[in-house]
Chain A
Amino acid sequence: MRVSVQSAPFDLGAEANGFSEGVSEGASGAGAVVTFTGVVRDLAQGGLEAMEIEHYPGMTEKAITAIAEEAAHRWALSDVLVIHRHGRLRPGEMIMMVATAAPHRAHAFEAAEYLMDYLKSRAPFWKKEIAAGGAEWVAAKAEDEDALDRW
């Protein structure tokens, strides 16, 4: 399991390849790897200059590790990877990725969805949209909180 909170960009291909290597070996060998990547959307229809992501150093790593450990336990995952960036990102840049490895795909998909639902509402990140007209904090959505109920 690896959790990385970083300002630097990551190489999705290299991360996915590195993660997939070796997951098929051993008693908990995986036959399925799922990856999800979040990208900065230009919600302001061309007007978004940047997305500023603030976080709580120390708590962020702990909270993500706890979420990843819970996912690994619930779905008997062979491995989990979470990378989440902070700082100033431009539209189109990759914000974060998760990767899950499990013997069968249903578990890998479910675990990835679980990770995403929890990262949205329980990992201490706050997004601010910087546009030509000003800057605004992104409000948490009620449906993101409701999404946790299904788990």
Chain B
Amino acid sequence: MDVLYFAWVRERIGLPRETVETGAATVSDLVNELSARETRYAAAFADLAALRVALDQELSDFDAPLAGVREVAFFPPMTGG
């Protein structure tokens, strides 16, 4: 699946998007998998309360299942307007 990062999450991880091969069942599982990879991921995902997640471009939450999802995006709370 495609995993996208925005704003300071993108800066901390050091890339805007990547393709990830994963068997993660939920968003939390994916976060744990990524965090275990390298410290830059662990740093970006250190405080999940400061993060939001979108699944296939719809806001979701960290308990949500990933079955059938093609695009996951992680970002800080939005500051539009």
Report which A residues bind B (CB closer than 8 A).
38, 54, 56, 58-59, 62-63, 84, 95-96, 116, 119-128, 137-140, 145
Q: Evaluate whether A126 and B75 lie within 8 angstroms (CB atoms) in the complex, with A84-B80, A96-B81, A121-B80 already known.
A: yes
| Number of chain B residues close to chain A: CB under 8 A | 16
A-B contact count (CB 8 A): 69
Extra inter-chain contacts (10) besides given A59-B57, A124-B78, CB under 8 Å: A56-B54, A59-B73, A121-B77, A121-B80, A123-B78, A125-B81, A126-B78, A127-B79, A137-B76, A145-B77
Q: Let me know if A54 and B7 touch, CB within 8 A.
A: yes
Docked CA distance A139–B79 (Å):
7
Q: Let me know if A126 and B54 touch, CB within 8 A.
A: no
Q: Let me know if B79 and A120 touch, CB within 8 A.
A: yes
